[in-house]
Chain A
Amino acid sequence: MSFINYMAREINCKLVYYGPGLCGKTTNLQYIYERTNPEAKGKMISLATETERTLFFDFLPLSLGEIRGFKTRFHLYTVPGQVFYDASRKLILKGVDGVVFVADSQIERTEANLESVENLRTNLAEQGYSLDKLPYVVQYNKRDLPNVASVEELRQMLNPTNVPDFEAVARTGVGVFDTLKAVAKLVLTELKKGG
């Protein structure tokens, strides 16, 4: 649910990075954090376990610039990917304006990807959203690893509706900003439609 503040002349939107455990959601946010000008970002918060697994969420506030005198601010969240944190994932989806699904391209993670995308659909539906109507992009991460499925295969499995999708290596930043820009653009376009 975007928040338009006429007083502060700003618009705030919420983006959620979803995907199976260890697919690179937090790594996406870390890269964005590292490569963004200090004045355009707030503090990145990670609620993680001692072994650096996301426990509840990561949070990164970003300013993207102005549109017609309104500052556009995006709040980026990740969900905990591990299967048993489902209750937390549901909470983080509340009020979401756009979703990035980060897939792990490794062949052995095929099932985890499928399970996670299905879980995303179910959790959104529980809150009255439909994945098919929400601004949504897919990222095929870890393209640098040797044992990866082809993009065609991944697309067939994970992106049947043909939303914008990107190949990425989040660790080095390949595709990270392309993904972010694509989903931010879709969210703004949706706002325009909804006006």
Chain B
Amino acid sequence: MINPQMVMYEEEFNQIQAVVDRLVRDANAKVVFIVDKNGQLIAAAGDIDNVDTTSLASLTAGNIAATGGMAKLLKENEFATQFHEGEKANIHIQLVGNRVILVVIFDSRSSLGLVRLRVKKASEELNHIFEALLKKVQEPGADSPFAEITDEDIDNLFND
């Protein structure tokens, strides 16, 4: 296969979710979510019923990609942190291990300083988890559940 697959298992998902849940509390954030660089949402916590996390995930990845493009033109490795300040909501975006993106949405109940501090710690933890996950995925025997599917399964998906 040309593309290495991103895979998420229950064990690592729970670890990641725990970090994200804690970050919502520690940073007094409204919403925290993690996206991979291709725009796939990995985990989210906080007041997520009131935001379109799928769209936000895709736009965040686009944003990081565009910023990465600018960095390249300036011969920088990357711009790992971005901050957008609005009238009510603010967004802090952090690239973690050049692999995933940690997004924190917060309002006046928190502050940029606090968010930065808590994001730093959470990023380190997340980095360890994703490193371990990557190793696990590369181990032999980590089969895709899709190896078992048949052409018929695929055809059935389109019978409507």
Contact = CB atoms under 8 A, between A and B. Distances in A.
B143 A75 contact: no
Given A47-B62, A56-B62, A195-B143, A91 B69 contact: yes
Interface stretch (B78-86, B104-112, B151-159): B151-159
Interface string A92-104: 1011010000000
Contacts of B37: 94-95
A189 B2 contact: no
A173 interface: no
A75 B3 contact: no
B1 A43 contact: no
A118 B18 CA distance: 46
Contact of A5 (B13, B59, B143): B13
A194 B1 contact: yes
Interface string B25-55: 0000000000011111010000000001011
A159 interface: no
A72 B8 contact: no
A179 to B, nearest CB: 12
Interface in B45-94: 52, 54-55, 58-59, 62, 65-66, 68-69
Contacts of A45: 55, 58-59
A2 B52 CA distance: 21
Contact of A68 (B58, B66, B68, B153): B153
Interface stretch (A20-28, A59-67, A145-153): A59-67
A3 B1 CA distance: 14
A6 B158 CA distance: 23
Interface of B: 1-10, 13-14, 36-40, 42, 52, 54-55, 58-59, 62, 65-66, 68-69, 143-149, 151, 153-158
29 contacts: A1-B6, A2-B5, A3-B5, A3-B6, A3-B7, A4-B5, A4-B6, A4-B8, A4-B146, A7-B9, A7-B14, A14-B38, A59-B58, A67-B153, A68-B145, A90-B69, A91-B62, A92-B62, A94-B38, A94-B65, A133-B2, A134-B2, A185-B155, A185-B158, A188-B157, A189-B151, A190-B1, A192-B147, A194-B144
Interface of A: 1-8, 11-12, 14, 42-43, 45, 47, 56-57, 59, 61, 64-68, 70, 72, 75, 87-88, 90-92, 94-95, 97, 128-130, 133-134, 181, 184-185, 188-195
